[in-house]
Amino acid sequence: MVNNTITAPRDFLAAGVSCGIKQSGRPDLGLIVCPTGATAAAVFTTNKIVSAAIEVSKRHIKSQKIYAVVVNSGCANTCTGKLGLKNAIVMCAATASLVARRSSLESRVTNHEPRTILIASTGIIGHQLPMKKIVSGIAKAAAKISNSPSAGLSFAQAIMTTDTKTKQTVRRLTMDDGRGTSRKHKPRIKDSVITIAGVVKGVGMIAPNMATTLLFITTDVAISKPLLNRALKDAIGNSLNKLTVDGHQSTNDTAIILASGLAGNRPIVKQCPRYKKFAAALSDLCDDLAKQMALDAEGATRMFKVVVKGAVTKTDAAKAARAVANYPLVKCAIHGGDPNWGRIICAVGSAVVKLNPAKLSCKIGPITVFKNGAPTKFDEKKASQIISKPEHTITVNLGIGVASDFCYGCDLSAEYVKINAEYRT
C-alpha cells in the first residue's frame, strides 16, 4: 500500500485519538513525531490576537531540533490569559516526556525540554483547555504512534473542525546530487529520492496573510534551516496565501514544516538547482492543498481562480484578484451558476487599483464577456455551464500594465450561514 500521508517521509510517526475535547467523540488530538529530531520552520498568523499555542511555538521554533508537534482541535486556546499560556506549555512538556519515553529518546531530549516540541490548537475561542483530558490524550496518542498510512490518516482526522474530509497529499522527487563522474573507475553515486507530505485543515475563517488554518508538512530532505524557512514562506505565498473563503483571518493560523534529513541527499545549503527543484515541489504540494481547502470550504459547492493581468504592479494585480474572490455578490452569483460579469467588474473597481476603464476586459473560462470597457455578446448558457463546474477561472485584464497575479475563491451558499450560525451550539 502506497503511503500518501505525513508518515511517508523517512523517520516520521503519527497518531490521532479522541480525548474528549469534542462532545461528538470525534478525534481531537494528534501527534507528529520525528525520533531523530527534525530541522523545522514555520509561519504564523499576522492577526494581533493569537492563540497561546502560537505564542509558545514562536519561541520553540528557534530550537535546533524539533522532536514532535502536538495538535488539538475543538478548543482554540485563544483569549485565555496566563492560564491558557501555562496550559500550552504543559502540553509541550507532557509531549516531550511521553514521546521521549515511547521512542527511547531520553538521551536526545535533554530533561524532556518543552522547547523541542511545537504546538497548534484550533476550535472555539475563549475556552480553557480541559487539561486532564488532554494530558491523558497525549499519553494515549504517544502509545499509538507509528509510520503506517493509517497513523497518518488518524492524525489528519484529529485536526479537523468543520472540515468534511481530510486534506493531504504527497510529492516524491529524485535529487541529482552531482557526486561522482561518468568515468568507469569512478561510478556515479545513486540519486536520492526525497518525499514531501502535507496535511491541512481549514474550511472557514480563511483570508490569510501568512499561511492558513493549520498546515503540517513532513519531508526527509537534508536542508539548512534558513533555506527550509525560505522555501516554506515562498510556497505558502504562492498557494495557500492566495486562498480566500470568507475574507476572515484566524487567530490560530499555523504552517509548520519538519525535515528529518534522512533522504540521503547531499545537504542543500545554498539556492542551487537542487534547492529550486525542492522548492518547486513544495510549492506544488501547497497549491494542491489550497485547492482541496477551497473545494471543502464551509458550504462551498465549487471553487474558482481569479487571474488578473495588465496591472501596473503585482501588488495591484493581487489586490484586484482578491477583491473579486472576496466579493459576496460574485460568490453568490457563482453559487447560482449566473455569469453576472457586472459583479466582477464592480468588484475590480472597488479594489482601489490603477486601471484603464476603456481597456478593461473580463473572461469566464475561455468566453469573453466584457472587452475594452463594454459588454460583448456571448452564449450565457455556455458561460453558466462553465461557472457551474467544480472549478473554473475568471480572467480580468486591467489594461494598464504587464503585471499579473491570482487568487483562489469559492462560492457562498446558505449552508455557510447555517454552519457559522450554529458553530458554538
Catalytic site residues? 212
Reduced to 3 states (helix: H, G, I; strand: E, B; else coil), residue 301 is: coil
Pairing of strands 214-219, 391-397: unpaired
Cell numbers for 158? 484529529
Cα torsion 59, 64, 67, 71: sign: positive
Q: Buried b / exposed e across 293-317, counting CB within 10 Å, b at 16+?
A: bbbbbbbbbbbbbbbbbbbbeeebb
Q: How far is Cα 348 from Cα 310, in angstroms, rounded to an integer? A: 13
Q: How far is Cα 123 from Cα 161, in angstroms, rounded to an integer? A: 7
DSSP class of 230: H
Q: How far is Cα 256 from Cα 181, in angstroms, rounded to an integer? A: 37
What's the gap between Cα 34 and its chain centre?
Answer: 20
Sheet arrangement for strand 403-410: 374-375, 367-371, 361-364, 391-397, 303-311, 403-410
- What are the DSSP E strand ranges found in 248-372? 254-259, 303-311, 361-364, 367-371
Reduced to 3 states (helix: H, G, I; strand: E, B; else coil), residue 396 is: strand
Q: Which residues pair with 363 in a beta bridge?
A: 368, 395
Residue type, 286: C
Closest residue by Cα to residue 245 from 169, 322, 168:
322
Torsions phi, psi for 309 (to 5 deg): -120, 175
Torsions phi, psi for 307 (to 5 deg): -105, 125
Task: Please report which helix (H) or strand (E) contains residue 318, including its range.
Answer: helix 314-326
Q: How far is Cα 114 from Cα 92, in angstroms, rounded to an integer? A: 5
Q: What residues contact residue 76 under an 8 Å CB cut-off, 6+ apart? A: 51, 121, 122, 123, 124, 125, 126, 127, 251, 252
